[in-house]
Structure 1
């Protein structure tokens, strides 16, 4: 993706808002030609969402907020809990996982996505996680859930807690596999209807995908694996080909795709939670309810083409650039004012050919966090020292995946060093402060 030079982009910042002591600062952009009109594609599916993985900024949303069945995309949530428990030391990759009657019986239903699991065999967490992503094994999801939490019911509670920790309120979960309730046979959950399914919106499913990639990027190593052998027992070996047809060498190959999870049930329809990385930019996407199995991949490809062809990722703030027109008051320092700067570069997706972002507003709000007296910074302060946190956000109707997202978090740093004043100056400052307090 091409870059636009920084001076033009700095004119795009329309406002700086301080949360502590600063008044509103308006920065007016230079009038230019209007933003190019880009026609969004209509995706042939019940819902579709694409977002920038790093920031969570939603770049495309078609019915993304409707709660819908998610089928085996459920297994991304299941995988997150497993990764979390491994990270916490509760379970380990090489642990031998026993197979319950429940998991064994489900594994024997060859109308479902499965690998056979024997009750006299033990399989490692690593093996079952591979079957989960590559072959969408429902029995493996059950076995992992039971091993990790003692029962699938307890595991589902942890899945629910995880969703709620992300701010997700509208969902339905009752199993770790994503199977429709009636497909569980005698293991149907009695508190749910026969045709009940796990449900989530496309936006929330994309948020889950972002979260697992953020916290456990190694998941992509498993998600992109293909042509893997699973030894079920001494006489049975399953040659697993990944259900994700957008991987290299597959029928719907798309350059840069390395995950994440397919899903299909009667209620959900052919669905796909995907991720792609090109030119240093990673996207996450969710398509729910495509017209037919291969269409979930072709529609995902259309979404990726739309983003990569029509948008540029451009730097709107550069690391080290000053917060123009603003400085912080310093107490007990040799200097009374501290110039401040942005501590990292911020990139935003904008339509290619954009000269002026009249409809793309960027706001910066600054919350200063250093210890201070009366809202002022206390010397000494080192150059480059963090003195606060800013949030840069694109204000459009699509927003961010995250519910608590203020925007792109940017550290605010000191542009120069301010040394502590000598003892006499500091003593006079303390005396003057006490006098003001007395009156």
Structure 2
């Protein structure tokens, strides 16, 4: 399911990088093991978690649509805002009409939110990280940057800071702009979607795990009950 991509990507990157870290100590055996890997995906990459050393790659620089893997960057910026004191986990966030409308679309990954209701940053973050909830993501984005277009600029600026090269963020969720019910960020078109290369995804995943290791505490939660909403 699309909504689980972000969590699964972090889990897969973590498990595989740790798994193959063990093989590095075995010299030639490790090289032979990694070289024997083959995947059906059109683009893939495997890195060592700590050093970032590339152990396997396939079309690693091809920029492709990333769907909910987008939320790795949204999660990073939420953690950064908390780290800098701009957000608090127990801080209440009021739900806008935009966030509400997106959250009510059951064809998308969502935790339904009450229009005008209030939820803590932690509740919304967990909805985003565990269920890839799009409405919750938008609510956090608006709390941090007021407008999604401002947050998208932060996403692209952070990507440049990380040394990523083959990427383009047009929204904070990973949905196609056409799914945003007319609320797509200014300066973007309805048919645009976020894109990134496998190499850039690996850079982002590594930075997320290294800079905010507590991300893994949430990533390992299989399910969670949220407060009752109308």
2:78 is aligned with 1:82: yes
2:186 is aligned with 1:215: no
> Residue 191 of structure 1: which of 167, 187, 190 is its match?
187
> Residue 126 of structure 1: which of 122, 139, 143 is its match?
122
Structure 2: distance between partners of 1:101 and 1:63: 40
Shift of 1:45: 1.0
Shift of 1:170: 2.7
User: Which ranges in structure 2 are unaligned for 5 or more consecutive residues?
Assistant: 1-21
Matches within 5 A, 1:317-356: none
Question: What is residue 100 of structure 2 aligned with on the other side?
Answer: 104
2:157 is aligned with 1:144: no
**Residues 117, 232 of structure 1: 8 Å contact kept:** no
Shift of 1:37: 4.9
In the TM superposition, what whole-angstrom CA distance separates every residue of 1:394-425 from its partner, at most 9, and x where no partner exists?
xxxxxxxxxxxxxxxxxxxxxxxxxxxxxxxx
The 1:84/1:37 distance shift into structure 2, 3 A limit, reads closer
Structure 1: distance between partners of 2:174 and 2:97: 19
Shift of 1:232: 4.2
**Residues 171, 184 of structure 2: 8 Å contact kept:** no
Structure 2: distance between partners of 1:35 and 1:116: 47
Matches within 5 A, 1:24-173: 37=32, 39-173=35-169
In the TM superposition, what whole-angstrom CA distance separates every residue of 1:215-267 from its partner, at most 9, and x where no partner exists?
1000111111122101142xx5xxxxxxxxxxxxxxxxxxxxxxxxxxxxxxx
**Residues 94, 118 of structure 2: 8 Å contact kept:** yes
Once superposed, what is the RMSD of the aligned Cα atoms?
2.3
Report how many residues are paired: 208
Structure 1: distance between partners of 2:190 and 2:59: 26
Structure 1: distance between partners of 2:218 and 2:32: 40
- In the superposition, the TM-score normalised over structure 2's length comes to 0.83
- In the superposition, the TM-score normalised over structure 1's length comes to 0.45
**Residues 96, 116 of structure 2: 8 Å contact kept:** no
Question: What is residue 19 of structure 2 aligned with on the other side?
Answer: none
The 1:182/1:41 distance shift into structure 2, 3 A limit, reads same
The 1:51/1:3 distance shift into structure 2, 3 A limit, reads closer
The structure carrying a bigger strand percent of its residues is 1
Q: Quick one: higher RCO (CA 8 Å, sep 6+), 1 or 2?
A: 2
**Residues 23, 29 of structure 2: 8 Å contact kept:** no
**Residues 96, 122 of structure 1: 8 Å contact kept:** yes
The 1:34/1:132 distance shift into structure 2, 3 A limit, reads closer
Of the two, which has the highest radius of gyration? 1
